[in-house]
C-alpha cells in the first residue's frame, strides 16, 4: 500500500484550497495536487477578485452575501498565520448601473431587500459626487469597435444605479490562496505541486485515487475535481460525462489595465462598477490604474480554447474594452503599450457552477466556477465538504439534494441548484455577472 488520503483534490486554486481547508476542519486527511508550482498560480492568480453581493438569482445572491462575511473576517476564518501576511479586502462598495438590459435592477433590488443586504438607490447626483470623472451619457447596447456608431451617444443619460456597500476586491488573489494553503496545512492537509493527474483510479465501482505523471499511485476513496479550466479534461479522465446535462469549457478572457485620469485618485477613491450600458465592469488597481473587464455582451466574441494551448497575447478585444471605458471616462488616457491580463475562465452553459457528486461514486466536482465565484470560495469549500460527507455517509444527493445551512444568513440553500443534471437556468445572466 502506497500513499493514502481521505480525499485527493485535483487543483490548488482558491476553491480547491478552500475545499481542502473545510474538509481538514472536519478531521479529513487531504491532498491537493496541482501541475503548477504553487497554490493559486493558475487562473486564480489572474482573477479580478471582486467581492460583490449582487446576482441574478436568489440562490446566487444568498451565496455571495454569505461569502462576503468570510472575507470581512478573513484572519479569524483562517485560524492560522501566514509568513507572507494576509491578503487585504478593500471594501470599496460596488455600483451597478441601471439599464434597460438589466431591467433597471428591479429584481436585484428585490433580492437584496429579501435577504436584508444593504443597498442604496443612487441617482446621477450621487454617482457623480463619487465619480466626478464620469459622464453618464447612454451608449448601449454595447458595440464592437468596427460597428456603426461605436463611441457615439444614443441620447439621454443613465438614470442611476444600485450601490452595495458590502463589496470590493481582494488585493492579491494568489496570496489569498496561499493563506488557505497555510491554514489547511495547519490542520493536517498536504499540497503537492508540479504534478499532473493522468489517471483516475477505480475499484469496486467507485473512485479509488489517482495516478500522477511521474507514475506514482496515490490512494483515496474520494477524488474531487477542482481543476478550473482543465476541469473538462479531468472529467474525461474519470469518464463521468454520461449523465451531465451541464458541462464546462475553457473560455479565453482579456482584462485591461489603464491609468486613471490625472487629478483623480481612483486607487483610493474609486469603487467597483458594473456598467451594462458600455458592457464593462471595472475596479481600482494598484498604481492608480483602472482594471476593466468585459461583461460579455453579445457583440464580444467567445473564444473557447484548449487550456494547455491558447494565445496569451492581447488582441483587438483589449482595445475594445479600453475604448468602451473611455466612453464613460472622457479624459481616460489609453496608452500605446497594452497592460493587463490574458487568462481563462472555466464556464458552464449558463455560467452557474457545478458543485456536485458525479455518476462515479466517490468522485465529486466543484467546477465551472471561474469569472464569478472567487468571492464564494470559502462558503463553496464548506458546502463541498458537507456534500462529500453527506454522500459518503449514504445520502443520495441526486434524489434528495442536500440542504446547506448558511451560518451568517441563518437560512439554507438547495445544493441541487448547482447540479450537473440541471436544466440550463433561464434566470442566469449568461455572463460573468452570474
Higher pLDDT, 307 or 427: 307
Strand partners, 355: 366
Query: Which H helix or E strand runs over 342?
Result: strand 340-348
The residues near 421 (Cβ < 8 Å, ≥ 6 apart) are 243, 244, 245, 246, 356, 398
Strand partners, 217: 211
Of 388, 400, 384, residue with least CA distance to 63? 384
Indicate whether 372 pLDDT > 90.
no
The residues near 31 (Cβ < 8 Å, ≥ 6 apart) are 3, 5, 7, 8, 9, 189, 190, 191, 192, 218, 220
Instruction: Give dist(CA 188, CA 21) in Å, integer.
Output: 9
pLDDT of residue 432: 78
Q: Do both 52 and 99 map to the same domain?
A: no
Q: Does residue 432 sit within a domain?
A: no
Q: Which of 344, 360, 395 is the last residue of a domain?
A: 344
Of 229, 245, 239, 223, residue with least CA distance to 419? 245
Over residues 49-75, the pLDDT tens digits come to 999 999 989 999 999 999 999 999 999
Of 286, 370, 382, 378, residue with least CA distance to 72? 378
Cβ atoms < 10 Å from Cβ of 410: 8
Q: Do both 161 and 258 map to the same domain?
A: yes
Q: Does residue 430 sit within a domain?
A: no
Tell me the average pLDDT across 160-173. 98
Q: Which of 329, 344, 359 is the last residue of a domain?
A: 344
The proportion of the chain whose per-residue pLDDT surpasses 90, expressed as a percent, equals: 96
Tell me the average pLDDT across 32-40. 98
pLDDT of residue 370: 77
Over residues 261-313, the pLDDT tens digits come to 999 999 999 999 999 999 999 999 999 999 999 999 999 999 999 999 999 99
Tell me the average pLDDT across 354-367. 98
Instruction: Give dist(CA 380, CA 359) in Å, integer.
Output: 21
Of 379, 273, 371, residue with least CA distance to 328? 273
First to last CA, the chain: 44
- Into how many domains does the chain fold? 2
User: Under DSSP, is residue 293 helix (H, G, I), strand (E, B) or coil?
Assistant: strand
Q: Do both 72 and 185 map to the same domain?
A: yes
Q: Does residue 434 sit within a domain?
A: no
Q: Do both 17 and 157 map to the same domain?
A: no
Q: Does residue 100 sit within a domain?
A: yes
Three cell numbers, residue 211:
495516478
Size of the chain, expressed as the number of residues it contains: 434
Three cell numbers, residue 373:
465565484
The torsion of the CA quartet 55, 61, 65, 67, rounded to 10 degrees, works out to -90
Q: Do both 72 and 112 map to the same domain?
A: no
CA distances (Å), origin 408, targets 64, 65, 70, 405: 11, 9, 9, 9
Indicate whether 1 pLDDT > 60.
no
Confidence class of residue 434 from pLDDT cuts 50, 70 and 90? low
Q: Do both 148 and 10 map to the same domain?
A: no
Confidence class of residue 2 from pLDDT cuts 50, 70 and 90? confident
Instruction: Give dist(CA 247, CA 426) in Å, integer.
Output: 16
Residue with cell 494598484: 286
Of 119, 64, 113, residue with least CA distance to 406? 64
Confidence class of residue 408 from pLDDT cuts 50, 70 and 90? very high
Indicate whether 240 pLDDT > 90.
yes
User: Which residue range is the domain that position 182 belongs to?
Assistant: 3-85+172-247+350-418
* Under 8 Å between Cβ of 84 and 31: no
Higher pLDDT, 433 or 315: 315
Tell me the average pLDDT across 21-38. 98
Mean pLDDT computed over every residue of the chain: 96
Instruction: Give dist(CA 268, CA 285) in Å, integer.
Output: 9
pLDDT of residue 95: 98
Query: Which H helix or E strand runs over 317?
Result: helix 316-328
> Hey, which bits of 262-322 come out as E strands?
272-275, 280-285, 289-294, 304-305
Q: What is the pTM of this model?
A: 0.97
Instruction: Give dist(CA 177, CA 44) in Å, integer.
Output: 8
| CA diameter of the chain | 72
Q: Which of 316, 344, 372 is the last residue of a domain?
A: 344
Q: Do both 184 and 319 map to the same domain?
A: no
Of 57, 58, 11, 18, residue with least CA distance to 36? 11
Give the DSSP letter of residue 318: H
Give the DSSP letter of residue 77: H
Q: Do both 330 and 390 map to the same domain?
A: no
Q: Do both 63 and 79 map to the same domain?
A: yes
Indicate whether 162 pLDDT > 90.
yes
Instruction: Give dist(CA 57, CA 422) in Å, integer.
Output: 15
Q: Do both 262 and 154 map to the same domain?
A: yes
Amino acid at each position: 500500500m502506497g500513499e493514502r488520503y481521505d480525499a485527493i483534490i485535483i487543483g490548488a486554486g482558491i476553491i480547491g484550497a478552500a475545499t481542502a481547508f473545510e474538509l481538514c476542519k472536519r478531521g479529513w486527511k487531504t491532498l491537493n495536487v496541482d501541475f503548477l508550482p504553487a497554490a493559486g498560480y493558475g487562473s486564480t492568480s489572474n482573477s479580478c477578485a471582486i467581492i460583490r453581493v449582487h446576482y441574478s438569482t436568489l440562490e446566487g445572491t444568498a451565496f455571495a452575501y454569505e461569502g462576503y462575511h468570510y472575507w470581512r473576517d478573513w484572519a479569524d476564518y483562517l485560524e492560522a498565520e501566514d509568513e507572507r501576511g494576509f491578503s487585504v479586502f478593500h471594501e470599496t462598495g460596488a455600483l451597478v448601473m441601471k439599464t434597460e438590459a438589466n431591467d433597471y435592477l428591479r429584481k436585484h433590488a428585490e433580492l437584496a431587500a429579501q435577504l436584508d443586504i444593504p443597498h442604496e438607490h443612487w441617482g446621477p447626483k450621487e454617482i457623480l459626487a463619487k465619480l466626478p470623472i464620469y459622464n453618464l451619457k447612454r451608449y448601449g447596447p454595447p458595440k464592437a469597435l468596427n460597428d456603426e456608431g461605436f463611441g457615439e451617444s444614443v441620447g439621454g443619460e443613465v438614470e442611476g444605479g444600485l450601490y452595495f456597500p458590502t463589496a470590493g476586491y481582494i488585493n492579491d488573489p494568489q496570496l489569498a490562496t496561499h493563506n488557505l494553503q497555510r491554514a489547511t496545512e495547519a490542520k493536517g492537509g498536504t499540497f503537492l505541486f508540479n504534478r499532473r493527474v493522468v489517471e483516475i483510479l477505480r475499484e469496486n465501482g467507485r473512485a479509488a485515487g489517482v495516478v500522477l505523471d511521474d507514475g506514482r499511485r496515490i490512494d483515496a476513496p474520494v477524488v474531487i475535481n477542482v481543476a478550473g479550466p482543465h476541469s473538462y479534461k479531468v472529467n474525461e479522465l474519470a469518464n463521468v460525462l454520461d449523465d451531465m446535462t451541464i458541462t464546462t469549457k475553457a473560455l479565453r478572457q482579456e482584462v485591461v489595465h489603464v491609468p486613471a485620469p490625472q487629478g483623480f485618485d481612483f486607487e483610493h477613491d474609486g469603487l467597483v462598477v458594473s456598467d451594462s450600458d458600455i458592457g464593462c465592469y471595472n475596479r481600482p488597481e494598484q498604481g492608480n490604474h483602472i482594471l476593466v473587464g468585459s461583461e460579455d455582451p453579445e457583440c464580444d466574441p467567445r473564444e473557447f480554447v484548449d487550456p494547455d494551448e491558447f494565445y496569451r497575447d492581447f488582441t483587438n478585444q483589449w482595445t475594445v474594452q479600453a475604448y468602451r471605458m473611455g466612453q464613460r471616462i472622457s479624459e481616460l488616457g489609453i496608452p500605446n503599450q497594452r497592460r493587463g491580463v490574458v487568462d481563462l475562465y472555466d464556464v458552464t452553459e449558463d455560467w452557474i457552477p457545478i458543485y456536485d457528486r458525479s455518476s462515479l461514486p466517490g468522485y465529486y466536482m466543484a467546477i465551472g466556477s471561474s469569472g464569478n465565484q472567487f468571492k464564494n470560495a470559502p462558503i463553496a469549500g464548506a458546502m463541498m465538504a458537507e456534500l462529500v460527507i453527506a454522500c459518503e455517509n449514504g445520502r443520495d444527493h441526486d434524489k434528495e439534494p442536500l440542504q446547506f445551512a448558511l451560518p451568517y444568513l441563518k437560512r439554507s440553500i438547495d445544493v441541487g441548484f448547482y447540479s450537473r443534471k440541471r436544466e440550463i437556468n433561464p434566470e442566469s445572466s449568461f455572463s460573468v455577472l452570474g
